[in-house]
Amino acid sequence: MAIQWFPGHMHLTKQAITERIKAIDVVIELLDARLPGSSANPMLAQLTAGRPTLKVLNKQDMADPLRTAPWLAYYNSQPGTRAIALDSSDTAAAQRLIASCRALAPLRGGMVKPMRVLICGIPNVGKSTLINSLVRKRAAKAADEAGVTKAEQRISLADDFYLYDTPGMLWPRIIVAKSGYNLAASGAVGRNAFDDEEVALELVDYLKGPYAQQLQERYKLKDAAAMTDDELLTEIGRKRGALQSGGRVNMQKTAELVINDFRTRQLGRITLETPEEFALWLAVGQKLDAERQVKKDAIELNRLIKFKKIPRPPRPANTDTRQENSSDTPAAEEAQKP
Ligand code: G4P
């Protein structure tokens, strides 16, 4: 599915992170505990240049605890990384976050060397809610400080603890197809950017595996796992009375209903990916992306040859005489592959 969005603020936010990172001790990456892999911004590691990172699996109250545990173990096994799960409206849990930051940069603290933390995350992941919980009664105030751009805000959580907030940022191209669906289902991308029915079909396709029981209970179904995705969505529509004239199931309405049930926890606590699944999806996505890049490069090379911006590469010594025109170059052959 092509999820189409304009990643607004992206350039400004990227620029702000690049400038700010030089004076940052810890990066907090806020992830959605229901889709930790898909909600991680692939550009962030590059932008934050190996700074100690705290992965916060937020909205843990909506995620499957049996899956949150392996995700935490996965992140905690990575060097320079710690991970915690929390519900951002819980003020006590939010205080754990401060302690985890201090553990990641033990040499920082006190007025001379205050802790400087950058917080990043995709839109709707719960950053504002978390910051409000962290700030509690302390007024969140933006710093009037040179270098603090409009794309970030400095919040002082203690006299020696500064949090630099960045706007929610998505990345321009999602190479993991499944991530696109999961981000759409979670609410990270605006409604106009995707097709509800497609997202709902993908959602029930996944849920009928590990969460068949929850689907059956919510929609009074018999054997969800045995149904095709279309049958499943249609049956849900019928059961929930999402009908249109002639008694046919209104698929759009049904899709909205299923997505909404997922987002509001009506289907129970669900996590849409395990570390192993995500690793597999990522490998497939990267392979397809590399193939796409080869094709793109070949098209560009062919274009440059055609318009004589660069000379045609020399033919090998035993070149077949039939290879006469530039469209027979290896690059052009690559470009012509479907
Ligand atoms: P953002 O700044 O990252 O864009 O996200 P924001 O805090 O605005 O949160 C987005 C939505 O997620 C809000 O719901 C918020 O209440 C909810 N949320 C944030 N953290 C958690 C959490 O840990 N658990 C749960 N269950 N929900 C969380 P909303 O319906 O869009 O707004 P509202 O009606 O709650 O104000």
Instruction: Identify whether residues 151 and 12 lie together within a single domain.
Output: yes
Distance CA 40, CA 59 (A): 14
Burial of 119 per CB tally in 10 Å (0-12, 13-18, 19+): buried
Which of 57, 60, 86, 129 to probe ligand 1 with, by most ligand atoms within 8 A of CB? Answer: 129
Of 112, 130, 135, 117, which is closest to residue 20 (Cα–Cα)? 117
Instruction: Identify whether residues 102 and 236 lie together within a single domain.
Output: no
**Which domain, by its residues, includes 255?**
195-263
Name the most confidently modeled range: 5-9, 40-44, 223-227: 223-227
pLDDT at position 327, please? 46
Give domain status of residue 175, yes or no.
Answer: no
Instruction: Identify whether residues 63 and 110 lie together within a single domain.
Output: yes
Average pLDDT, the chain: 86
Instruction: Identify whether residues 123 and 234 lie together within a single domain.
Output: no
Residue 294: which residues within 8 A CB-CB, separation 6 or more? 334
Distance CA 176, CA 182 (A): 10
The Å distance, Cα 74 to ligand 1 centre, comes to 25
Instruction: Identify whether residues 144 and 72 lie together within a single domain.
Output: yes
- The verdict on pTM exceeding 0.95 is no
Give domain status of residue 75, yes or no.
Answer: yes
Q: Which residues line ligand 1 (CB under 6 A)?
A: 58-59, 61-62, 87-89, 121, 123-129, 168
Instruction: Identify whether residues 104 and 252 lie together within a single domain.
Output: no
Give domain status of residue 142, yes or no.
Answer: yes
Q: Whose CA is nearest to atom 20 of ligand 1?
A: 126
Among 140-154, 169-183, 192-206, name the one with the lowest average pLDDT: 140-154
Place of tokens 């926890």: 265
Instruction: Identify whether residues 45 and 139 lie together within a single domain.
Output: yes
Give domain status of residue 334, yes or no.
Answer: no
- 184 DSSP assignment: H
CATH number of the domain encompassing residue 214: 1.10.1580.10
What total number of domains does the chain contain?
A: 2
The DSSP bridge partners found for residue 85 are 57
- Which carries the bigger pLDDT value, residue 282 or residue 7? 282
CATH number of the domain encompassing residue 40: 3.40.50.300
Instruction: Identify whether residues 114 and 70 lie together within a single domain.
Output: yes
pLDDT at position 51, please? 93
The Å distance, Cα 124 to ligand 1 centre, comes to 6
- 313 DSSP assignment: P
Ligand 1 closest atom vs CA 62: 26
- At residue 285, φ and ψ (nearest 5 deg) are -60, -45
Give domain status of residue 183, yes or no.
Answer: no
